[in-house]
A and B are shown apart, each in its own frame.
Chain A
């Protein structure tokens, strides 16, 4: 473990105060991300999975500097990048990029595909005007959109999959090292999703990229990542190699998530763990449950779970989990 991870997130907390009432009094805090730590090695593919409001997107935005952390730090190649000023942050943009979930609003509707991609080069003043254009068409070829057909189209004329390809081209034209993918395919149809996922895998190899892959769809994350972190209500509850997570899920929430995947074949069905159904729905991050945040829905919850937050338990080199069920062994 001597090698410095490319991206290191340590004890990250992101809280948002809530103001209410006449005097805009602070009445509470949304604990969107609470004490999350994980790291990604160069060339790694870390999958972050969790349901709505689990804090996945907030983590992504914090890494990219859109949101400022309340405490904790983020290191990139060993250097602390949380709390940077605007100027240094801007220099970092060519190293880190993000691809958004919402294909329909992530491209400015009043610009053509060519301009949309070229703007990244304009901002960083890379190459001459002609070189920039060439680079744009080269990127379009990488994402399998023939430049002669697409350069001068407006986003409105593109399908969801094509828009996402344009977004990918724009993110990669700066040759970043880390790409944060925030639900890159959840707005797309299955037949298109598969195409985009395969493209992302291919580009990762070609450009030697490191991915942080965020999704609520565990079956996608299982296929895409080598390491998976499972989030519940702002906390990381289990981290492990994707094989470990699938075959040997330790946290009851992970198990519930896996068992809820709607699978289609008998073969897959046999892999699924059999668990009792969860009660209720994901709670609110405003006043999260005490102790283990999952205890309100957990079929195995004991009285202790409501009182104290369990510590991390190491299962094997990569696999750790935070649950009292495991601690007993």
Chain B
């Protein structure tokens, strides 16, 4: 065999960098996505560093300062205080930890269960595949939030159960998505070529089909973080999530409801934070959708 007289490694490294910078370029064109990343990251950081950021960290628990209750937003309490006199902003920074955690974990768990099943159903096909897909159809036939309610009804309200409940209702979407992708990719000529080169089905699966199925999954996970936050907050709002006095955005909205209309800030601000988180993640998702050029629901 001939000599290698140039460094293949170097060339591939350069190409990698090129594609990386091109990606950044495309994202930068999409200003909204950048805004989304900025907002979401700062929310995330705010929650992570809550103990240092919150002006009154002790208010995240069951502290009671009745003298301070129902203070409207001011320099001391920038978002005001609640019925126990606790600082809303402090509670929001801690409460976000629960809401965002649920929002991040649920799609990831759902995606890992769903994608595995989808891959199996799509590639092995035949009997196992159709059993999986029929099961998926059944799970898809009930609104997810309702199964989640049933699960929480059975196991009792708590954040852990919310995450568990929503995760197990989330997977069918990914199964359907991945199954559809695999089915259509299987018909692509390059998959047939790989088989004609003598590749075994596992290699074809993991090195030809899977890399092409990943972009829609990533976009869907991103967009689903938003939906998961909304759903988790809705369950929290119904009182099925964390139990008071632990703060959680959905729960905080619900608690403030009793003191409307005069004490508007207890309800309004946590709601705005939920909105901001979901809005920014949707901006990111839309940007990714354009970047990776895929269409998912």
- Where the two chains meet, the residues of A that have a C-beta atom closer than 8 Å to any C-beta of B are 64, 66, 90-91, 93-94, 97-98, 100, 102, 105-112, 114, 119-120, 123-124, 127, 130-131, 133-135, 137-138, 147-148, 151-154, 167, 170, 174
Chain B, residue nearest A130 (CB): B4
CB of A152 within 8 A of CB of B14, answer: yes
Task: Check B197 against A134 for contact (C-beta < 8 Å).
Answer: no
A94-B198, A119-B197 given as contacts; is B190 within 8 A of A127 (CB)?
no
Give the Cβ gap from B5 to chain A, nearest Cβ, in Å.
9
Pick from B19, B189, B207 the residue with the most CB of A within 10 Å. Answer: B189
Chain B 1-28 near chain A by CB (<8 Å), digits 1 or 0: 1111010100110110001000000000
In the A-B complex, list the 4 residue pairs whose CB atoms are closest, starting with the nearest. A93-B198, A152-B15, A106-B189, A108-B190
| Known contacts A105-B189, A106-B189, A108-B190, A90 near B200 by CB under 8 Å | yes
CB-based nearest A residue for B7: A148
Instruction: Say whether A134 contacts B212, CB under 8 Å.
Output: no
Nearest-Cβ distance from residue B124 to partner chain A, whole angstroms: 14
**25 A-B residue contacts at CB 8 Å?**
A66-B192, A93-B196, A98-B193, A100-B189, A105-B188, A106-B189, A107-B190, A107-B193, A108-B211, A114-B8, A119-B207, A120-B197, A123-B197, A123-B200, A123-B203, A124-B198, A135-B1, A148-B6, A151-B12, A152-B8, A152-B11, A167-B193, A170-B193, A170-B197, A174-B197
Residue of A94, A108, A137 touching B4 (CB-CB under 8 A): A137
> Does B208 reach chain A (CB closer than 8 Å)?
yes
With A108-B212, A110-B212, A131-B1 as known contacts, state yes or no: A123 contacts B199, CB within 8 Å. Answer: yes
Closest chain A CB from B260 CB (angstroms): 53
Q: For the complex, is B116 an interface residue (Cβ under 8 Å from A)? A: no
Q: Are A93 and B1 in contact, CB atoms less than 8 angstroms apart?
A: no
- Give the Cβ gap from B126 to chain A, nearest Cβ, in Å: 15
Q: Within 8 Å CB of B14, what residues of A?
A: 152
List chain A residues, Cβ under 8 A from B29: none
**Minimum CB–CB distance for A94 against chain B, Å:** 7
Chain B residues near A138: list those with CB within 8 A. 1-2
Q: Is the CB of B196 within 8 A of A66?
A: yes
A35 to B3, CA, bound (A): 50
Least Cβ distance of B15 to chain A in Å?
4
Contact between chains at B1 and A127 (CB < 8 Å): yes
Residue numbers in B under 8 Å from A152 (CB-CB): 8, 11-12, 14-15
> Closest approach, in angstroms, between the C-beta of A187 and any C-beta of chain B?
11
Interchain CB contact (< 8 A) of A93 among B2, B189, B197, B203: B197
- Nearest-CB distance from A117 to chain B (Å)? 10
Question: Is B69 interfacial (CB-CB < 8 Å)?
Answer: no
1/0 per residue, CB under 8 A from A, across B195-216: the answer is: 1111110010001100110000
The B contact surface, by secondary structure, is: helix
Residues of B within 8 A of A119 (CB): 194, 197, 199, 207
* A107-B190, A152-B15 known; A134-B1 Cβ under 8 A: yes
Which B residues touch A167, using CB under 8 A?
Answer: 193
Please tell me the size bucket of the interface on B. Answer: 20 to 34
Task: Report yes or no: B198 in contact with A123, Cβ–Cβ below 8 A.
Answer: yes
In the bound complex, CA of A170 to CA of B194 (Å): 10
Q: Which residue of A lies closest to B15 (CB)?
A: A152
- Please indicate the chain B residues that have their CB under 8 angstroms from the CB of A105 in the complex: 188-190
Q: Assess whether B196 is in contact with A97, with CB atoms less than 8 Å apart.
A: yes
Q: How far is the CB of B259 from chain A (nearest CB, A)?
A: 55
> B200 to chain A: which residues have CB within 8 Å?
90, 123
Across-interface contacts of B12 in A (CB, < 8 A): 112, 114, 151-152
Q: Which of B4, B15, B193, B194 has the most CB of A within 10 A?
A: B193
Give every chain B residue within 8 A of A93 (Cβ-Cβ): 196-198
Question: A64–B196 contact, CB under 8 A?
Answer: yes
- Compute how far the CA of A66 lies from the CA of B204 in the bound complex, rounded to whole angstroms: 14
Produce 1/0 per residue, B221-263, CB < 8 A to A: 0000000000000000000000000000000000000000000
CB distance from B223 to the nearest CB of A (A): 22
Give chain B nearest CB distance to A212 CB in angstroms.
14
Question: In the complex, what distance in Å separates the CA atom of A33 from the CA atom of B150?
Answer: 56
Give CA–CA (A134, B2) in the complex, Å: 6
Q: What is the CB-to-nearest-CB distance from A305 to chain B, in angstroms, rounded to a whole number?
A: 38
CB distance from A226 to the nearest CB of B (A): 25
A135: chain B residues within 8 A (beta carbon): 1
Q: Which of B1-59 contact A (CB under 8 A)?
A: 1-4, 6, 8, 11-12, 14-15, 19
Given the contacts A102-B189, A108-B190, A138-B1, A133 and B199 also touching, CB distance less than 8 Å: no
Contact partner, B11, options A66, A107, A134, A151, Cβ 8 Å = A151
Q: How many Å from the CB of B294 to the closest CB on chain A? A: 13
**Which residues of chain A have C-beta atoms less than 8 A from B15's C-beta?**
112, 152-154
- Residues on B with C-beta less than 8 A from A107 are 190, 193
Chain B residues near A151 (CB, 8 Å)? 8, 11-12
CA–CA, A167 to B197, complex, Å? 11
Tell which of B19, B188, B198 touches A90, judged by Cβ atoms closer than 8 Å: B198
Residues of A within 8 A of B203 (CB): 123
Q: Are B208 and A108 in contact (CB under 8 A)?
A: yes
Contact residue among B4, B193, B207, B208 (Cβ-Cβ distance under 8 Å from A134): B4
B-chain residues with CB within 8 Å of residue A174 when the two chains form the complex: 197
Whole-angstrom distance between the alpha carbons of A148 and B11 in the complex? Answer: 8
Q: Which residue of A lies closest to B13 (CB)?
A: A152
**Chain A residue with minimal CB distance to B198?**
A93
